[in-house]
Structure formats: C-alpha cells, structure tokens
Amino acid sequence: MARRRLFALVLCSALALAACSKDPVLADLAAMDQVGQTAFKDNSKINALMQQASASKSQEEQSRLLGEVGQEMMRKAKAMEAFTAQTPEVGKIHSDLTTAMKDAAQGAIDSQTAFDRKDATALHQAQSRLNEAMGRLQTAAQAYAQLAKDKGYQFKK
C-alpha cells in the first residue's frame, strides 16, 4: 500500500513537472516559425526583382521593379498576419515584424507611384519611409532571433 502511494506520488510529481516544463513562449516561437517558413518559403521572386533593380540602368525600370518588390512583400506580410500569438513576448515581435514589413512594402509601392508622377518630394518621403521601415524590420528580426536564442529555440531550415 505504501509502495502504491509512493509510486502515485512520484508519477504525479513527474507529470506536474512535465506540464510545467512546457513553455508557452517556445510553443509560440515554433508556431510563428512555421507560419514564417510557409510565407517565406520561396523568396526567389523578390531576390530576382532586387537583382534586376540593382542591375538596371533606367530609373523607370528600377521604379517598376521596386513596385513589384513592394507588392510581393505585401503578400508575404499578409500571410504573416494569419498568425495569432498566444504570448505577449512573441505577440510584440510578431506585430513589430508584420507592421515593419507592411510599411516597407508600402514605401516601395509609394516610391514607384511618386516616380511615375515625377514627384521628387513624394519620392524622397516614400524612400525615407521605406528605409525607416527596413530599419524597424531589422530590429524586430534581431529581437525575434534573440528571444529564440534565450529560449533555446532552433529555427527550422
């Protein structure tokens, strides 16, 4: 009888310890990683457009390509919005990432529009917004990587 109680106590303790060890932030990181893997599985189109824009001698061609990059980034940002974080830590990073991504995409689209209208002031403003959003995107990505590192999470390849 005493052995059964001791066994039950050990079993309950082990189950309680296992339940406590499940970190909700880790689960959130894994879920967000999965959504990101799906959204960014194929970046070849964005990479090709960026290479073409860099190689282009024509500002009109660069503008058109930048607009296409913006449209593609916006599609990926919308795919990322489908994720709903369950923890505030991951929720803030997710919000920062998707907001910065959408802002960068909109900056690229606005740059194309301003260029097409030959509006130098609007072009400068759009490019400034784009650069600022890219900085925020980098900061959010670093926070994401740091949280994953702190929690011992390994991103899927």
pLDDT at 109 over 90: yes
**Digit-coded pLDDT (tens) for 10-52:** 333 333 334 334 799 999 999 999 998 888 777 788 889 888 9
Note the residue count of the chain.
157
Model pLDDT for residues 114-145, shown as the tens digit of each residue: 988 999 999 999 989 989 999 999 999 999 99
The pLDDT value given to residue 7: 39
Q: How many CB atoms lie within 10 A of CB 60?
A: 11
Confidence (pLDDT) at 42: 77
pLDDT for residue 20: 37
